[in-house]
Amino acid sequence: MDFVAAIKSDALNIKKRTPVEPDFWVLIFGDLTVFSVLFIAFMLRRFESAETHTVFSMGTESLNQSIGLINTLVLLTSSYAVVLALSYYRSGDLNKMIKFTCFAIFCGLGFVCLKIFEYIEKINQGITVTADRFFELYFTFTGIHLLHVLIGISLLTIVAYRMSLKKPDAFTTPGFVEGVTCYWHMVDLLWLILFALFYLLG
């Protein structure tokens, strides 16, 4: 059985395997738990007093809403790309799978560049992590999320590269590819929540 045929057989025969590697579920649920605690901390801090409510509202107004919205659309597009990539992977069309994985990577890099630009914009305005309570949380939360984006880009790059070699290994198995896809969706979900908290709710 050749490489493509083996992938199609393993990917579609879910009854004989566990979808997504177990380690990925531990990583994903662990991250979701940590961010849930951070989100609760945000809400507690925001409604701590009338003063903090005002600080958070002013913080939201000072953010670059356009970049926040563009980054949201970029990540949503990347999520759709990895869905297509996984679909082509399961059907054995590795060329299209690699193509859409690379497109998702490109979107991820676009997100990183825009986020860095936004950080620089704020720093040039004299706004840093020590500016006030809002920006303390903003830089911390979005910084941690940016790290997750970079990890996701690295995982997608590994998958695309190993697939291009067309040799079976631990990085081309259905469980690993599905795990990377789920991880990327988690990264996108977390950004949607961060976007709502910082750019809309404030």
For residue 48, report the phi and psi dihedrals to the nearest 5 degrees: -65, -40
**Taking each helix axis from N to C terminus, what angle separates 65-91 and 94-124, rounded to the nearest 10 degrees?**
160
Q: Which of 8-12, 39-43, 95-99, 119-123 has the lowest mean pLDDT?
A: 8-12
Give the model confidence (pLDDT) of 124-169 as tens digits.
998 888 878 889 999 999 999 999 999 999 999 999 999 988 888 8
Alpha carbon 86 to chain centroid distance? 16
Confidence of residue 88 (pLDDT cuts 50, 70, 90): very high
Would you say 28 and 186 are in contact if contact means Cβ atoms under 8 Å apart?
Answer: yes
Task: Calculate the alpha carbon distances from 17 to 9, 21, 117 in Å.
Answer: 11, 10, 43
Confidence of residue 34 (pLDDT cuts 50, 70, 90): confident
Q: How close are the terminal C-alpha atoms of the chain, in Å?
A: 56
In this prediction the pTM is: 0.86
The owner of tokens 């704020």 is 122
All structural domains of the chain? 3-8+22-201 (1.20.120.80)
| AA identity, residue 171 | F
